[in-house]
Amino acid sequence: MENRLQIAAGNWKMNKTYSEGIELVKELIERTKEGRAMVILGVPFIHLKGVADLIASADSTGGQTSSIKLAAQNCHYEEKGAFTGEISVDMLLSVGTEYVILGHSERREHFKESNEILSKKVEHAISKGIAPIFCCGESLRIRKAKIHVDFVSNQLNEGLFHLSKEAFSKVVIAYEPIWAIGTGETATPEQAQSMHKEIRTLIERKYGKDVAQNTSILYGGSVKPDNAKDLFSQPDVDGGLVGGASLNADDFVAIINSF
């Protein structure tokens, strides 16, 4: 774990008006200091420029914000064109975006994003210089059938493992146990560790031990202030992709401070 980035990534999903989002980020900047953990804010498109400006302004006035990075929640795999409602990587780059969340379970389920589509998005984002936070994970049905490792392995094989070693080294992985998101179910730290270890083993088989040991794997299953420390203390859990708790400054700061 010594060489891996520890990351607290917030995924706001479709929440926060512009003014609400700006107020939240102002509070986060005031209350977070540069530390071992990197903070990534995955915000809706309307917030990207405003949040980027806040981070840059704090940096220019001596604020300790160099550990805060900006992420989008999606991108298209084409350069530009007749894709109404979509956003290009160049557009994201133009406002200072450094990361993009791809393959989130909600995008897969509600917008029918396949591994094939995601593989193109991942490759395009990396080619332009934006790092993907690639989500993978299984439903309760898959987990109960005890085929969750094979299921996630297939997501990685079809979505990521076409990349070169150099390109793959830009990727952050987020494991989402879909059965533990908004269901009242919670994966134990031991369950999280077990799956993260399996994912790291799959990466090692494909790209070798060095790449596997340097890949940050985040846990994305209802991370909260009261379970973050136990989750993040697991040897293969390098942080969290945080949903609801990232919308509240008190909760998200507590999670950041759990490292």
Write out the catalytic residue numbers: 104, 176
* Other beta carbons within 10 Å of 140: 14
For residue 64, what is the DSSP state?
Answer: S
Q: What are phi and psi of 99, to 5 degrees?
A: -130, 160
Both ends of the chain: CA-CA distance in Å? 12
3-state secondary structure of 84: coil
* Other beta carbons within 10 Å of 224: 17
Q: For residues 80 and 73, give the distance between their C-alpha atoms in angstroms, rounded to a whole number.
A: 18
Q: For residues 59 and 66, give the distance between their C-alpha atoms in angstroms, rounded to a whole number.
A: 7
Answer for the pair 86, 113: CB distance below 8 angstroms, yes or no.
no
Kindly provide the residue ranges of all beta strands, DSSP E only, lying in 144-255, ordered along the sequence: 172-175, 217-219, 239-242
3-state secondary structure of 43: coil
